[in-house]
A = this chain, B = another copy of it.
Amino acid sequence: MPEARFDAAKGLFIRRWGEMAASWGISRTMSEIHALLYLATQPLCTDDVMEQLAVSRGSASTNLRQLVNWGLIHRVHHRNDRKEYFDAERDVWQMFETITRERRRREVQPIVETLQRCISMIEEDGGRLTGQARKDTDAHRKRFTDILEFCGLMNMLFDLMSKAGRSGLKPIAKTIGKLVG
């Protein structure tokens, strides 16, 4: 009987998941730990993570905490065992919602606030400007507003998708398909 390739697949996925995250501004190790816990059939403790991914205790601790903060994994306690175990959210749809919500809060919200501020700064100038300066501010207002509207629309869409959930997306996609042609 040929060797089962299970472990190879697991390793392959974990590495790729880490690489992908790295290019999205998330640390490779944090993402590898997430992949490990996502695949695990039971909660793992810090030492399991250290052993399986060959990372230090400090790194494991820090990254596990960050994952908990993101809401992607949860702490689990067992009776008669001091150790803390960690268990990942396994519903892909829920994962998506969690990640989307966090990134929106951390990274989209600031740009939205900045855009609003930029627009009101321009409004303060009112119609007092003339000539090129006037043309420039008008152009800028439009460009700020365009992005702001886009953000609003995307926020709305993600809210709807979250509400719809996994079961709801397929019919939605189908409907959009009809609308678009």
Contacts and interface: CB of A to CB of B under 8 A. Distances in A.
Interface string A1-39: 100111011101100110110111100000000000011
Report copies per complex.
Answer: 2
Contacts of A143: 38-39, 90
A16 B170 contact: no
A4 B180 contact: no
A76 interface: no
Which bucket holds chain A's interface residue count? 35 or more
Contact of A146 (B92, B121, B179): B92
Nearest to A147: B92
A118 B15 CA distance: 12
A90 B13 CA distance: 38
A58 interface: no
Contacts of A67: none
A168 interface: yes
A125 B76 CA distance: 32
A105 interface: no
Interface of A: 1, 4-6, 8-10, 12-13, 16-17, 19-20, 22-25, 38-39, 41, 90, 92-93, 96, 106-108, 110-111, 114-115, 117-119, 121-122, 124-125, 128-129, 133, 135-137, 139-140, 143-144, 146-147, 149-150, 153, 156-157, 160-161, 163-164, 168-173, 175-177, 179-181
9 contacts: A4-B125, A6-B136, A13-B118, A16-B110, A19-B110, A39-B139, A92-B150, A160-B176, A164-B180
